[in-house]
Chains A and B, each alone.
Chain A
Amino acid sequence: MKFQGYRRANGKVGSRNLVAVIPSVICANDVGQAICRQVQGTIGYFHHQGCCQLPIDLKRVTDTLSNLGQSPNVGAALIVSLGCEGTDHERLVQEIAASGKPVEIIRIQELGGTSRAIQEGIDLAQKLVQEISVQQREEADISEVVMAIKCGASDTTSGMASNCVIGYVADKLVDLGATVVFGETTEFLGGEHILARRAVGGENGPVGQKIYEIVNRMEERAKSVGEDMRGGQPTPGNIAGGLSSIEEKSLGAIVKSGHRPIQGVLEYTERIDGQKGLWIKDAPGREPEILTGMAATGAQFMMFSTGRGAPQGFPSMPVIKICGNPNTYERMQHDMDLNAGRIILGEKTIEEVGEEAFALMLEVLSGRMTKNEALGYYGSMDIFCLGPVI
């Protein structure tokens, strides 16, 4: 089974061919946005980090931005540095260039301020866009797919319809030799024993134990500020949708990981570099941070389940929305790519909608725009940091 993708110098295959404008710090965002507005074929990673943070977080931000620049959907990168930030902007240039891509950098303070930096950035972005625009799609094997999965704005249909569809696709991809990554560690609470038993080496092996460890870490982080997670998870929307506890939300959420063994746990800044099968990424449930983590991992696309109706995508990663709630699908058809609500209505089976999702996935990998891409609804992203801003 094949799809049509962009083959990169390092052998990886992308589903999109974009010039990434990468501010190395929040303070450079406005310059980056001006460049993106002017030059077509660019996307921006407009995050809110990069200075006055603990060293562990500055490394995390640099690693994440570097991984985003190296991700296969990016054909070239323009780093936008202010000049005095805490991230290592020169490392961004070196690492992205080492992956075989054209990279440029502008430094706002050195260039003499905003307007000059914008002018220089537009000229460089224009050159990069033209340079990569000659690349053609070529045939790639299904085993080269890296799928990220996620659910958001969930209700009780998610665990009984749309997550089951994603689980079907995940199992099929793993069986075909591809890679699937899921996360949302917060939404393992109450279901972690089920995941740990599915770990390679069993519940008591290193992978099984690591699953318990990341869940404890997430739970302790919430407790460390003296708060009870229940006020934030499930969300008010989840509760209005019928989800009564984090356990119920989790048990529905993990359905989307399918049934295959879990090969290992990736830290937030770790990439997929050839690993196959089903993997966990330690990331929270909130969209901007986990979508960023998944794109930085190297996923070419995401399959995203929703019940209440989550419309957003990600700058460089197509997001396919699978809607489990037939009422929501009716209301939000222009945001939802596939109606899994037909399972709830008894009109279709999980397998039937799963095959539709699989076919749609092959089209999206080969260039078909998702609904959020066509609408340009993909601006929000952020990086999951551990410590306070200081």
Chain B
Amino acid sequence: MEMKLALKVDDLDNVATIFANDVTAGTTVEVRDKQGKTEQIRLSADVPYGHKIALTDIARGDKIMKYGECIGAASTDIKKGDYVHVHNLEALRGRGDIPG
């Protein structure tokens, strides 16, 4: 069967985006970067089309990077292969409690 694909946009990124349907816990996906280098990662959870996975362990409070830029911080400890979304990624902008 063809390997499910995830794309890593920038070398600094610690997440990749899954572009495949029916990706379930235990699936091994192929993460491809812009140079075409690949790495296989086993997923710990179901991940919907267009959603993100962790490429490394990310400690609570650490920056989550996509496009080579910060897209938020980890709100819990995240393991490599975990699903990354609003349940464990916290925006740092557009909020009243911390300066923009």
Contacts and interface: CB of A to CB of B under 8 A. Distances in A.
A186 B90 CA distance: 18
A7 B19 CA distance: 45
A57 interface: no
A325 B93 contact: no
A190 B96 contact: no
A251 B65 CA distance: 11
Nearest to B100: A219
A244 B72 contact: yes
B93 A246 contact: yes
B55 interface: no
A247 B69 contact: yes
Interface string B64-100: 0011011110000000000011100111111111001
Contacts of A215: 100
Contact size class for B? 20 to 34
A242 B100 contact: no
Contacts of A245: 71-72, 86, 89-93
Interface residues of A, number: 36
Interface in A139-182: 155-157, 159-160
Contact of A226 (B66, B72, B91, B96): B96
Contacts of B71: 190, 244-245, 247-248, 251
Contacts of A241: 50
Contacts of B89: 244-245
Contact of B66 (A229, A248, A325): A248
A209 B48 CA distance: 39
Contact of A228 (B50, B51, B66, B95): B95
Interface of A: 155-157, 159-160, 186, 189-191, 194, 215-216, 219, 222-223, 226-230, 233, 239-242, 244-248, 251-252, 307, 325, 327, 344
